[in-house]
Structure 1
């Protein structure tokens, strides 16, 4: 019996799931994530049986800050936003799930600001859009996460050194995990990456033991 830990980069998962599977209620998205993680326990290539150690979910609580919008000249109160309500409900639903462990970082909301979306900026520079044509939805809120990547790396290292698991499945599209993955592999851990169908850099293949996405909707 192979003991498996599943680590989920929450921000990455939520974005990919929304794009590929559409909007869902907090309860529906929490169940969707749980069901998806359990699919990783069914080995695709051999008859190995997997026992779930724990599902670690990494994310940040929603922002409660008020941020000025440069186009509408209004201050947006994120504590009253639909996203804030949804995110709090989503995290609550995950806390109720069996063998789920939440690892929450913080948002650097002191630096939160609105900025033009990249595709809109390109249109402005190319002359395909003018400043007078700008709309509220052409802007997106920019706020960085703090502590999430560090928590992922520390948990990988801890499980590897303590021999708590035989396999780690990381659901992420980030390359910042490479050092932790190399450490885990040196300790004999089978390290599998699930980028949910997103492309990864070619040189990442040498630092993982396998690449697997469990739902064709992501491909």
Structure 2
């Protein structure tokens, strides 16, 4: 059975960071590559099956490369010189040198980049547990809009399915934006597996997949 693995990079990096903490770009790339290859090995009826890896597709956006005003600091932060940018570029570079990995990069809508007050702190501000004078840098999160990532994932699923290049697609993601693509793949006879990395998924998504599989129990703990 030939298997393609598609990774929503933004979702993966968020879940991996929450579970394993901050890692070097090289260590994180190694973790992702090793994890994806665990999907190639499957145990069925007490028999271990090793599928053929078609390719690992990794979808993400380049890091933000502009100055953004921070309302708490009352100054601009230059992300072009940030550690986050350097880490992300190193991570992409490490992945690009792995066998059978294809990077699919969209772009960020940098013109709309801004800082938002995190939801839990917004609630604290409204109920009086937090005041405007208490707000610090940690209370805010950078809001960025990705362009083209979901479209690339959907197009690749459709292409793989229509051309019958694979028998199985494993999608590492966590939202329901891919329901139409999943339905299309299944109609073409593709075994469609979702890996939410231990996260909860909506019923609208679970209805249109052939199975759920997370290969590392560490993800299920958070």
Give the TM-score normalised by structure 1: 0.98
* Structure 1: segments with no counterpart, 5+ residues: none
Q: What does residue 11 of structure 1 align with? A: 10
Measured after TM superposition, the shift of residue 30 of structure 1 is 0.1
Q: Distance in 1 between matches of 2:152 and 2:175?
A: 14
Which residues in structure 2 correspond to 1:157-176 (within 5 Å)?
157-176=158-177
**Would you say the 8 A contact 2:6–2:56 is kept in 1?**
yes
Structure 2 distance, partners of 1:113, 1:71, is: 12
Distance in 2 between residues matched to 1:164 and 1:114, nearest whole Å: 42
Q: Distance in 2 between matches of 1:132 and 1:65?
A: 27
Partner residue in 1 for 2:30: 31
- Offset at residue 211 of structure 1 (A): 0.2
Unaligned runs of 5+ in 2: none
- How far, CA to CA, are the matches of 2:105 and 2:205 in structure 1? 26
Distance 1:61 1:33 in 2: 18
1:188 aligns to what?
189
Tell me the secondary structure at the aligned position of residue 35 of structure 1.
helix
Asked if 1:56 corresponds to 2:69, the answer is no
Following superposition, the deviation at residue 104 of structure 1 comes to 0.2
SS at match of 2:2: strand
Quick check: 1:106 aligned with 2:107? yes
C-alpha distance in 1, partners of 2:68/2:203?
Answer: 39
**Does the residue aligned with 2:53 lie in a helix, a strand or coil?**
strand
Alpha-carbon distance in 1 for matches of 2:159, 2:126: 48
SS of 1:54 mapped into structure 2: strand
Counterpart of 2:151? 150
State the shift of 1:22 in Å: 1.2
Q: Normalized against structure 2, the TM-score is what? A: 0.96
Q: Distance in 1 between matches of 2:197 and 2:72?
A: 35
Question: Which ranges of 4 or more aligned residues in structure 1 deviate by more than 6 Å?
Answer: none
Q: State the 1:115 CA deviation.
A: 1.1
Shift of 1:114: 0.8
1:167-214 residue CA offsets vs partner (Å, 9 max, x unmatched): 000000011000000000000000000000001112322200010000
Aligned residues: 218
